A and B are shown apart, each in its own frame.
Chain A
Amino acid sequence: MVEGAANALVEARGLSFLWVKTQLYSYALHDGMLPPSARNDFILRGFDSACHFLAAFSAALSTTPLSLLPALHPFSAVCSWMFVYKTLYSRYRMYFDISATEQVLIDIQKLMASKSQARGDFCWSVAVYMDNLLQDARNNNLNENPGEPFLEVRSRMAAGLYFDGLNRLTQLSTSRDTSFSSFETKVTFTSPISAPLSSHTSSPFLSSDDLSTPPTSQLSPPVFAAQKPMFTGFWTENPMADNAYAPDPSKLDMEWLADSFLTGEGGVAPSDISGYVAPGLLMVQ
C-alpha cells in the first residue's frame, strides 16, 4: 500500500510539472500577449505539453487508488485543457486527433463511473456530468446540425465542459432532492498499484538534445481502446485519423506549413495535407 501510494505521488509530480509547463504556454493563447510570429511557437509548445498532460492524467486515473484520486490535479484542469485543444484545433487542426481526444473523455467517464462506490462521491459526480455533456453533444449534433461537420458542436462541448460541469455540480449540490445534496469524498483504501508507470516508454525527456521538444520517434500518442467514435462522418474523410503523427515527416512541406501559420487561423484544413505532423517538428529554435 505504501509503495502504491508513493508511486502515485511520483506520478503526481510529473503531472504537476506538466501543469506548470502548460500553464506558461497557455498565456500565448490570449490575443495581444505575444507578437504573431512568436505566438505560434509557444502555442505549439503548449499543445505538446497539453498532450502529455492529458495522456499522463488519463494513465494516472487508471492506476491511482480511489483514495488518492481527489489528490490528483483537479479534473477541471483536464477540462480546462479541452479549451486549449479546441483553440489549437481551430487554428491548427492538422495537428489535432479529435477522435483520440474524444476517446479520452469517454474513457475517463467510464473509468470514473466504474470507480464510483457511492452516489455523490468524487467519481460519481465526475462521471455524471461528463456523461450528460457527452450526451448533449451527441444530441446537438443530430438535432441541430445534421450532416454538418461536428467541429462546432465539439468545440462547444470542449469549451463548455469545464464550466458546464461545474455548473451542473452546483445545481446538484443545491438541489432540494436530498439524494443529490451531499457531495463527499469517499476515502476507501484499495489495492496498491500493481505496476508503476514507466517513464522509459513514453517520456519525452529521453532526448538529450532538447528536453522540452521530444523527438518524434519517442513521442507516442496516448493509446486508447478501440471504440466507435461518436462522429464518424468527418473523420472518414481522413485516412490518417488513427495516427496523430506523420508516418514520414520527410515528405512534409515545411515552407508551406510556415506560410500557413502566418496566414492566421482558418488557413489550414485537414484535407490540405495527407497526414498529421508531430508538434515537435515545428518547434524550431
Chain B
Amino acid sequence: MTTLDPDRADPTQVDSASSAASTGASPSHVEVERATAASRVGAGLALVAVVVFGSAPLWARTSVLRTLIGFFTLLALATMWNLLAGYAGLVSIGQQAYIGIGAYGLYWLSDSAGLDPFAAVPLAAVVAAVISVPVAVLAFRLRGGYFAIGTWVIAEALRLLVANISQLGGGSGVTVTAVSGYDRQTRIYLTYWLAFTVGVGAVTLTYLLLRRRLGLALTASRDSETSARSLGVDVYRVKLLVYVVAAFGCALAGAVIYLNLLRIQPDAAFSVNWSAFMIFIVVIGGVGTIEGPIVGAILFVVVQETLAQYGAWYLILLGVIAVAIALRARHGLWGLLAERTGISLFPVRRRLKLPAPPTAGGSR
C-alpha cells in the first residue's frame, strides 16, 4: 500500500485541504487513514496519565497539587495560544486580556453577585468570549506584527481601565473571599479538579476541533489564505471562531489560576508575562502540533520550579532557548522528535492510502 501524506509542511504544497477532500477519485480503492500504531500507543498513554493525574488529590501533597494546578492552567493557556498562532496564524501577545477578564469576572460574579465561585469560573469565560468579538473586529484590521502589538495594546487598555475602576479594587487589587465558605482541603481539591478539567479539556477540545473540517479549513488558511478562500473557506469567520474559542479558554484558565492564588491585581492579571509564558512554552515545545504545548509546559514547569530561586535568569534562559528554536528548529522539541521518528500521538493529519500501482509500466 502506498501512503501519501497530503499535508506535509512543504510551503509549495498549497491545497492540502482539497487533495484530502477529493479522494472521491476511486472511493473503493482509496482510504483516508488517521490513526497509526504510534497514535494508538499515545492514546493509551494519555488514558493512563488522565487516570493518574485525575486522582492526584488522593496521593499528592498540597504543594504538589499547587504545582500541578499551575501546570494544567499553563497547558490550557499554551494550547489556546497554539490554536491561535500555530493553526490560525494569529500571533497574539494580548491573551492576558482574557486571563484578566477571567480573574476579575470570577471576583465580580462570586464576591459581588454572590454566585458560587466554582460556578463563576465558566461564566466568567463566557463573558470573556462575548467581549472577544468586538475586540476581534478591531484587531483583525491589523496584520502580522502589527496585529500582535494591537492585541497587546488592547490588553493594556483593559488593564488601565480595570485599575481605574474602584469597584474592582483599582490599582491595589482584590481578594476572592467567596471561597471562604469552603474548608481548605475541599477548596484545593475542587480547584485542582477544575484545573485538571480545564487543562485536559483544552487539549481534547483542540484535538477534536482539528480533526473536523475546521481543522482542514485552518490548515488550508494557514498555508494560503487566497487558495483557501477560493475553495469556499470563509477565512474571516474561521479566524473569528478560533479567536473566540481561545478567549474562552484563556479566561477559563485565568479564572482557575486566580481561584488558586486568590489575590488579583491588575498589573499581574493583565501582565504580558502571561503571553511570554505561553509563547515560550509553545515555541519550545512545538508550534502547530498538539503535543508541543504539552512537552513545552512540562519543561517550563520543571525549569520554573528548579531555577526560580535565581530570579529572572530562568526567564532569560527560556527566552534564549525560544529564540534559538524559533530560528533553527521551527517545530520545536516535539517537532524534532517527530521528524526523527515519525510518531504522532495526537494525529490530526489525514493519510491517503492508495492501492498499489499496477506492475506493468509502473513509474518506479
Pair from one complex: no
Please give the residue numbers on chain B whose beta carbons come within 8 Å of chain A beta carbons, in ascending order: none
